[in-house]
Amino acid sequence: MHEEVTVHMVAPPEKIWELLSDVTKIGRYSPETFEAVWIDGATGPEMGARFRGHVKRNGKGPTYWTTCTVSASVPGREFTFGVGNGERPLSVWGYRLERAGDGTDVTEHFTLAPTFGLRLYWSVLGWARGKTNRQDMRTTLERIRAEVEAP
């Protein structure tokens, strides 16, 4: 119940982190989450900050809002958030950045909570959802790469 994709970007990790940790820009990159807003007085990616993401599942629907809580925020290195209850999120999404050669290896990852319902879902539909998640993570990272590598 875990997937991840890594894309190399010819840009410093700090520049990439600035883009991916600003959730208000997610609509420029993600095929599913087309907007997000900070909530509860949050204005940026601090630990414990909360935001709401507006999602169009599989790019087609249903469309819904989901609340997320930042669980890791290390400039230039990591940005991670839980989806759902801040104490026990249903899924965790994030990015890890590592200097590599002429730039940065950026890994987007997600993990589903190991609940009975989610295990059942993943055993039945995981092959399809996992494939969609991998494609969407690659698309997100490729769009970020196009922006950070633009002249």
Number of domains in the chain: 1
What CATH number is associated with residue 22?
3.30.530.20
Query: What are the pLDDT digits (tens) for 10-45?
Result: 999 999 999 999 999 999 999 999 999 999 999 999
CA neighbor of 71 nearest in space, from 95, 49, 100:
49
> pTM of the entire structure?
0.90
Nearest Cα residue to 83 out of 75, 92, 95: 92
Domain hosting residue 53, numbered range = 2-149
Express each pLDDT in 127-151 by its tens digit.
677 788 899 999 999 999 999 999 8
